[in-house]
Amino acid sequence: MKLTKYLEFDAAHRLLNYDGKCSNLHGHTWKVRIIINIKFYNDVIVFFRNKTDGLLMDFGVIKKLIVDKFDHTNLNDILTINPTAENIASVIVLLINLNFNNVNVDKRTRLDYDIIVKLWESSTSSIGVNLYDAMKWLNIISPDVNTIQKLFKEKI
C-alpha cells in the first residue's frame, strides 16, 4: 500500500557557510511529495483492519505537520541546522515518521515501511530522501521526539 500526499509552502531561507547569492535571504514556493510505502504482513493487516478510522494516516495531519510549521516562515528562524534542501527534506521525513509511529504502530505489530520525500526548491531543482537517508544525512541513530526536537528552535 502506498499513501501519497502533495503539498506546497512558501518560505524564505539563506544558506549558511555558503559562498554565493543563496547566502542572501531569498524565498521559494517549496513543493513536497510525501510517500508512505507499507509492506503488509498478516499481523499488520489485522491491525489496520481493526482501526476504527480506516486510515493509514490522515492527509490533513500530514498537511498540518508540514504546512503549518513551515509556511510563510524564515526557515533559519525555525531550524537549528542549515536550511538546505537536503536538510529540509530530511527534517520532513523525520516529522512524518515521528507522527506515523505515534499514530499507527502498536508495539506488538511488525511494520515494514518507508517514508520518501521529494522536495522541489524550484521547477528544475529537487532532492529525494527516504527515512534511512534522512537518518544517515543528519547523523541520527534513533528518530525519537527528543532527537527530532533538537533540529528545531521551538517546541515541535
What does each of the 156 residues of the chain score in pLDDT, given as a tens digit?
899 999 999 999 999 999 999 999 999 999 999 999 987 665 555 555 555 666 778 899 999 999 999 999 999 999 999 999 999 999 999 999 998 865 555 544 556 789 999 999 999 999 999 999 999 999 999 999 999 999 999 998
In a domain, 156, yes or no: no
DSSP 19: -
Distance CA 76, CA 84 (A): 10
Instruction: Look up the CATH number of the domain holding residue 89.
Output: 3.30.479.10
Q: Write down the pTM of the prediction.
A: 0.90
Question: Domain range holding 41?
Answer: 2-149
Residues in the chain: 156
In a domain, 75, yes or no: yes
